[in-house]
Amino acid sequence: MPREAYHRDLTALHDRTLALARRARRAVDESVHALRAVDVDWSRRIDHDDIEINNERLAIEERCIALIAAQQPVAVDLRRLASTLFITGEIERIADHAVGIARINLMMATEPPPRPLSYIPSMADRALAMFDDAIKAFDEDDDTLARHVCQSDDDLDRLQDRVYADVIEAMRADANVVERNTYLLWAAHNLERIGDRCTNIGERVVYTVTGEMTDTKPSTF
């Protein structure tokens, strides 16, 4: 493969990864809006559309592997392709967390509005800001911004702690809201995991740019 064609393929892979990120971001944003609006039809669409995100992730991975096999890249090109393989997986999992929130909305369908959500909307804003920065760092090879993403995850964790405190207090005050508030804990957990995925993307960007593999915080499951 001529060098020019190879670089065109690298650019195309990069652009497809950015497009995948935009779709995953939209799924997260819409899942929380549907939760707030008690819109179950919206949540069903998010769940249904996830198969397309999964398929695109697999297509990008297949193209990455084909390029690695054909070109046997070294140094930064190899790191870039290996990181793209990893980052597309993280993006797809972020979309899975959006589906998790959408399915929580479906399970809460019988709960009448208005629905108290504690700090969940604030968590969503923080998680989406981290995602935006992580993808911008990936797009621009900005390891400084990538490190900032990793450091900002603590803010999201603190918001999750506030959700837990509110939910536990509500459960103690009224046994009739235990089920609803348990679902809210699950939604908060999905948003917290999105932050962890963004941290993983940030760490991979640092690796791509510098060759340094970092681990900014212990993994959680």
CATH number of 3-210: 1.20.58.220
**Rounded mean pLDDT of the chain?**
92
Structure tokens at 194: 């999105």
Q: Kindly report the number of other CB atoms within 10 A of residue 112's CB atom.
A: 6
Give yes or no for a cis peptide into 116 (omega within 30° of 0): no
Structure tokens at 178: 């235990």
pTM of the prediction?
0.92
Residue 175 pLDDT: 86
Among 134, 90, 120, CA closest to 187: 120
Among 95, 68, 70, CA closest to 82: 68
Domain boundaries along the sequence of the chain: 3-210
For 146-182, write each residue's pLDDT tens digit.
Answer: 999 999 999 999 999 999 999 999 999 988 888 888 9
d(CA 198, CA 134): 6
For 87-118, write each residue's pLDDT tens digit.
Answer: 999 999 999 999 999 999 999 988 766 678 99
**How many CA within 13 A on the CB side of residue 133?**
25
Residue 216 pLDDT: 66
